[in-house]
Structure 1
Protein backbone atom coordinates (compact mmCIF):
# COMPACT_ATOMS: atom_id res chain seq x y z
CA UNK A 1 0.00 0.00 0.00
CA UNK A 2 1.36 3.42 -0.98
CA UNK A 3 1.20 6.08 1.72
CA UNK A 4 2.55 9.58 2.31
CA UNK A 5 4.45 10.25 5.53
CA UNK A 6 6.29 13.19 7.00
CA UNK A 7 10.01 12.55 7.26
CA UNK A 8 12.80 14.52 8.91
CA UNK A 9 14.30 16.87 6.29
CA UNK A 10 17.84 15.53 6.70
CA UNK A 11 16.72 11.91 6.33
CA UNK A 12 14.50 12.68 3.37
CA UNK A 13 17.27 14.60 1.59
CA UNK A 14 19.70 11.72 2.17
CA UNK A 15 17.25 9.28 0.57
CA UNK A 16 16.57 11.66 -2.33
CA UNK A 17 20.29 12.17 -2.97
CA UNK A 18 20.76 8.40 -3.08
CA UNK A 19 17.96 8.04 -5.64
CA UNK A 20 19.26 10.91 -7.76
CA UNK A 21 22.85 9.67 -7.58
CA UNK A 22 21.80 6.21 -8.77
CA UNK A 23 19.89 7.78 -11.64
CA UNK A 24 22.92 9.90 -12.60
CA UNK A 25 25.15 6.83 -12.67
CA UNK A 26 22.63 4.86 -14.74
CA UNK A 27 21.87 7.66 -17.22
CA UNK A 28 25.28 9.34 -17.56
CA UNK A 29 27.70 6.69 -16.27
CA UNK A 30 29.18 9.33 -13.98
CA UNK A 31 29.40 8.48 -10.29
CA UNK A 32 28.08 11.11 -7.92
CA UNK A 33 30.41 12.73 -5.48
CA UNK A 34 29.87 13.97 -1.97
CA UNK A 35 28.69 17.50 -1.39
CA UNK A 36 31.46 19.63 0.18
CA UNK A 37 30.40 22.59 2.28
CA UNK A 38 32.22 25.84 3.03
CA UNK A 39 31.36 28.17 5.91
CA UNK A 40 33.28 31.18 7.12
CA UNK A 41 32.24 33.73 9.76
CA UNK A 42 33.59 37.23 10.36
CA UNK A 43 33.94 38.58 13.90
CA UNK A 44 35.02 41.91 15.36
CA UNK A 45 36.20 41.50 18.96
CA UNK A 46 33.88 38.54 19.44
CA UNK A 47 30.87 40.20 17.76
CA UNK A 48 29.50 38.30 14.76
CA UNK A 49 29.38 40.75 11.83
CA UNK A 50 28.80 38.50 8.84
CA UNK A 51 29.77 35.44 6.90
CA UNK A 52 29.44 33.24 3.86
CA UNK A 53 28.32 29.68 3.17
CA UNK A 54 28.68 27.63 0.00
CA UNK A 55 28.33 24.07 -1.27
CA UNK A 56 30.41 22.33 -3.91
CA UNK A 57 28.94 19.39 -5.80
CA UNK A 58 30.40 17.86 -8.94
CA UNK A 59 31.83 20.75 -11.01
CA UNK A 60 29.90 23.63 -9.43
CA UNK A 61 29.97 25.64 -6.24
CA UNK A 62 26.85 27.51 -5.13
CA UNK A 63 27.20 30.36 -2.68
CA UNK A 64 24.18 29.94 -0.46
CA UNK A 65 24.43 32.98 1.79
CA UNK A 66 26.62 36.06 2.10
CA UNK A 67 25.79 38.90 4.46
CA UNK A 68 27.61 41.65 6.33
CA UNK A 69 26.20 43.74 9.17
CA UNK A 70 25.19 47.12 7.73
CA UNK A 71 27.69 49.09 9.85
CA UNK A 72 30.57 46.98 8.41
CA UNK A 73 29.63 47.28 4.74
CA UNK A 74 31.83 49.20 2.31
CA UNK A 75 35.04 48.19 4.10
CA UNK A 76 35.97 45.25 1.86
CA UNK A 77 34.80 42.43 4.12
CA UNK A 78 32.20 41.15 1.67
CA UNK A 79 34.80 41.18 -1.10
CA UNK A 80 37.24 39.24 1.08
CA UNK A 81 34.62 36.63 1.98
CA UNK A 82 33.63 36.27 -1.68
CA UNK A 83 37.27 35.79 -2.69
CA UNK A 84 37.74 33.14 0.00
CA UNK A 85 34.69 31.26 -1.28
CA UNK A 86 36.04 31.52 -4.84
CA UNK A 87 39.39 30.14 -3.66
CA UNK A 88 37.53 27.22 -2.05
CA UNK A 89 35.71 26.61 -5.35
CA UNK A 90 38.93 26.64 -7.36
CA UNK A 91 40.82 24.43 -4.89
CA UNK A 92 37.97 21.91 -4.87
CA UNK A 93 37.86 21.68 -8.66
CA UNK A 94 34.77 23.69 -9.56
CA UNK A 95 34.33 25.02 -13.07
CA UNK A 96 31.77 27.61 -12.05
CA UNK A 97 30.18 29.41 -9.13
CA UNK A 98 26.51 30.38 -8.85
CA UNK A 99 24.69 32.73 -6.52
CA UNK A 100 21.31 34.40 -6.33
CA UNK A 101 20.39 37.80 -4.96
CA UNK A 102 17.45 40.16 -4.81
CA UNK A 103 17.25 43.41 -6.76
CA UNK A 104 17.57 45.39 -3.51
CA UNK A 105 20.63 43.43 -2.37
CA UNK A 106 23.99 42.86 -4.08
CA UNK A 107 23.51 42.30 -7.84
CA UNK A 108 25.97 45.04 -8.86
CA UNK A 109 28.45 43.87 -6.20
CA UNK A 110 28.60 40.38 -7.77
CA UNK A 111 28.75 41.80 -11.31
CA UNK A 112 31.78 43.85 -10.23
CA UNK A 113 33.54 40.54 -9.52
CA UNK A 114 32.71 38.96 -12.88
CA UNK A 115 29.38 37.29 -12.14
CA UNK A 116 26.84 37.42 -14.96
CA UNK A 117 23.06 37.23 -14.75
CA UNK A 118 21.74 34.08 -16.43
CA UNK A 119 18.16 34.36 -15.23
CA UNK A 120 15.69 36.22 -13.09
CA UNK A 121 12.24 35.85 -11.59
CA UNK A 122 10.01 38.83 -10.98
CA UNK A 123 7.73 39.16 -7.99
CA UNK A 124 9.63 36.63 -5.90
CA UNK A 125 9.98 35.97 -3.03
CA UNK A 126 7.35 38.72 -2.73
CA UNK A 127 5.57 41.09 -5.08
CA UNK A 128 7.57 44.05 -6.29
CA UNK A 129 11.03 42.49 -6.16
CA UNK A 130 13.14 40.46 -8.58
CA UNK A 131 15.44 37.56 -7.80
CA UNK A 132 18.57 37.36 -9.98
CA UNK A 133 20.60 34.21 -10.68
CA UNK A 134 24.28 34.79 -11.47
CA UNK A 135 27.19 32.62 -12.59
CA UNK A 136 30.95 33.03 -12.83
CA UNK A 137 33.10 30.56 -14.76
CA UNK A 138 36.44 29.99 -13.07
Structure 2
Protein backbone atom coordinates (compact mmCIF):
# COMPACT_ATOMS: atom_id res chain seq x y z
CA UNK A 1 0.00 0.00 0.00
CA UNK A 2 1.16 3.51 -0.82
CA UNK A 3 -0.43 6.65 0.67
CA UNK A 4 0.33 10.04 -0.82
CA UNK A 5 -0.63 13.67 -0.32
CA UNK A 6 -1.58 15.53 -3.50
CA UNK A 7 -1.33 19.32 -3.25
CA UNK A 8 -2.73 20.22 -6.64
CA UNK A 9 -5.96 19.67 -8.50
CA UNK A 10 -6.10 16.20 -10.05
CA UNK A 11 -9.35 15.66 -11.92
CA UNK A 12 -8.52 12.03 -12.70
CA UNK A 13 -8.17 11.20 -8.99
CA UNK A 14 -11.32 13.16 -8.16
CA UNK A 15 -13.31 11.38 -10.90
CA UNK A 16 -12.09 7.99 -9.66
CA UNK A 17 -13.13 8.80 -6.09
CA UNK A 18 -16.58 9.95 -7.23
CA UNK A 19 -16.99 6.78 -9.29
CA UNK A 20 -16.21 4.70 -6.19
CA UNK A 21 -18.78 6.60 -4.11
CA UNK A 22 -21.41 6.18 -6.85
CA UNK A 23 -20.79 2.45 -7.09
CA UNK A 24 -21.28 2.11 -3.33
CA UNK A 25 -24.40 4.29 -3.49
CA UNK A 26 -25.94 2.19 -6.28
CA UNK A 27 -25.27 -0.99 -4.29
CA UNK A 28 -27.22 0.47 -1.35
CA UNK A 29 -29.88 2.63 -2.99
CA UNK A 30 -30.20 1.40 -6.55
CA UNK A 31 -29.54 3.46 -9.64
CA UNK A 32 -30.91 6.98 -9.80
CA UNK A 33 -30.47 9.56 -12.48
CA UNK A 34 -29.05 12.87 -11.36
CA UNK A 35 -30.54 15.72 -13.35
CA UNK A 36 -29.22 19.28 -13.27
CA UNK A 37 -31.71 21.99 -12.32
CA UNK A 38 -31.01 25.70 -12.74
CA UNK A 39 -33.27 28.74 -12.91
CA UNK A 40 -31.56 31.99 -13.92
CA UNK A 41 -32.49 35.63 -14.53
CA UNK A 42 -30.83 37.97 -17.00
CA UNK A 43 -31.13 41.71 -17.46
CA UNK A 44 -31.98 43.56 -20.67
CA UNK A 45 -28.34 43.22 -21.77
CA UNK A 46 -28.52 39.44 -21.25
CA UNK A 47 -26.17 39.67 -18.25
CA UNK A 48 -26.75 37.13 -15.50
CA UNK A 49 -28.30 38.86 -12.47
CA UNK A 50 -29.29 35.85 -10.39
CA UNK A 51 -29.92 32.16 -10.27
CA UNK A 52 -30.43 28.93 -8.40
CA UNK A 53 -28.49 25.84 -9.45
CA UNK A 54 -28.30 22.29 -8.19
CA UNK A 55 -29.52 18.82 -9.08
CA UNK A 56 -32.31 16.45 -8.36
CA UNK A 57 -31.51 12.93 -7.19
CA UNK A 58 -33.28 10.30 -5.08
CA UNK A 59 -36.32 12.59 -4.70
CA UNK A 60 -34.12 15.36 -3.27
CA UNK A 61 -33.42 18.80 -4.68
CA UNK A 62 -29.79 19.45 -3.73
CA UNK A 63 -29.19 23.18 -4.08
CA UNK A 64 -25.55 24.01 -4.74
CA UNK A 65 -25.69 27.77 -5.26
CA UNK A 66 -28.11 30.68 -5.02
CA UNK A 67 -26.92 34.11 -6.07
CA UNK A 68 -28.55 37.47 -6.80
CA UNK A 69 -26.57 40.46 -8.04
CA UNK A 70 -26.21 43.29 -5.51
CA UNK A 71 -28.21 45.65 -7.73
CA UNK A 72 -31.30 43.40 -7.60
CA UNK A 73 -31.15 42.15 -4.01
CA UNK A 74 -34.23 43.03 -2.02
CA UNK A 75 -36.47 43.08 -5.10
CA UNK A 76 -37.96 39.62 -4.58
CA UNK A 77 -35.92 38.12 -7.41
CA UNK A 78 -34.27 35.54 -5.13
CA UNK A 79 -37.66 34.39 -3.85
CA UNK A 80 -39.04 34.10 -7.40
CA UNK A 81 -36.03 32.10 -8.58
CA UNK A 82 -36.24 29.74 -5.58
CA UNK A 83 -39.99 29.26 -6.05
CA UNK A 84 -39.59 28.40 -9.73
CA UNK A 85 -36.75 25.97 -8.99
CA UNK A 86 -38.82 24.27 -6.28
CA UNK A 87 -41.83 23.95 -8.59
CA UNK A 88 -39.62 22.13 -11.11
CA UNK A 89 -38.10 19.94 -8.37
CA UNK A 90 -41.58 18.92 -7.22
CA UNK A 91 -42.56 18.08 -10.81
CA UNK A 92 -39.59 15.70 -10.80
CA UNK A 93 -40.95 13.99 -7.69
CA UNK A 94 -38.72 15.61 -5.09
CA UNK A 95 -39.92 15.41 -1.50
CA UNK A 96 -37.22 17.64 0.00
CA UNK A 97 -34.78 20.43 -0.78
CA UNK A 98 -31.39 20.72 0.90
CA UNK A 99 -28.72 23.41 1.02
CA UNK A 100 -26.04 24.87 3.21
CA UNK A 101 -25.24 28.51 3.84
CA UNK A 102 -22.88 30.59 5.93
CA UNK A 103 -24.02 32.90 8.73
CA UNK A 104 -23.26 36.08 6.75
CA UNK A 105 -25.06 34.82 3.66
CA UNK A 106 -28.77 34.05 3.79
CA UNK A 107 -29.97 31.72 6.58
CA UNK A 108 -32.87 34.05 7.44
CA UNK A 109 -33.92 34.25 3.76
CA UNK A 110 -34.05 30.45 3.55
CA UNK A 111 -35.99 30.21 6.81
CA UNK A 112 -38.56 32.62 5.34
CA UNK A 113 -38.73 30.25 2.36
CA UNK A 114 -39.65 27.37 4.71
CA UNK A 115 -36.23 25.81 5.28
CA UNK A 116 -35.25 24.61 8.75
CA UNK A 117 -31.77 24.44 10.20
CA UNK A 118 -31.02 20.75 10.74
CA UNK A 119 -27.33 21.04 11.53
CA UNK A 120 -24.62 23.58 12.21
CA UNK A 121 -20.90 23.96 12.31
CA UNK A 122 -20.24 26.75 14.83
CA UNK A 123 -18.03 29.64 13.84
CA UNK A 124 -14.38 29.46 14.74
CA UNK A 125 -11.51 31.89 14.17
CA UNK A 126 -11.35 32.61 10.46
CA UNK A 127 -14.65 30.92 9.58
CA UNK A 128 -18.30 31.93 9.99
CA UNK A 129 -20.95 29.50 11.21
CA UNK A 130 -22.31 27.10 8.59
CA UNK A 131 -25.95 26.02 8.51
CA UNK A 132 -27.32 22.88 6.89
CA UNK A 133 -30.93 23.44 5.91
CA UNK A 134 -33.82 21.23 4.84
CA UNK A 135 -37.28 21.87 3.47
CA UNK A 136 -39.85 19.11 3.31
CA UNK A 137 -42.44 19.39 0.56
CA UNK A 138 -45.98 18.46 1.44
TM superposition score category, shorter chain reference = 0.7 to 0.9
> 3-state DSSP class of the match of 2:30?
coil
Q: 1: CA distance between counterparts of 2:107 and 2:115?
A: 9
**Following TM superposition, by how much is the alpha carbon of 1:48 offset from its aligned partner in structure 2, in angstroms?**
1.4
1:40 and 2:44 matched: no
Aligned residues of 1:118 and 1:134 also touching (Cα < 8 A): yes
Q: 1:72 maps to which residue?
A: 72
Q: 2:25 maps to which residue?
A: 21
Q: 2:132 maps to which residue?
A: 133
TM-score scaled by length of structure 1:
0.82
CA RMSD for the aligned pairs? Answer: 2.3
TM-score scaled by length of structure 2:
0.82
Moved over 4 A (4+): 1-7
Number of positions where the alignment pairs a residue of Structure 1 with one of Structure 2: 132
| Unmatched tracts of structure 2, length 5 or more | none
Aligned residues of 1:54 and 1:85 also touching (Cα < 8 A): no
Q: 2: CA distance between counterparts of 1:100 and 1:109?
A: 12
| Unmatched tracts of structure 1, length 5 or more | 25-29
**Following TM superposition, by how much is the alpha carbon of 1:12 offset from its aligned partner in structure 2, in angstroms?**
2.2
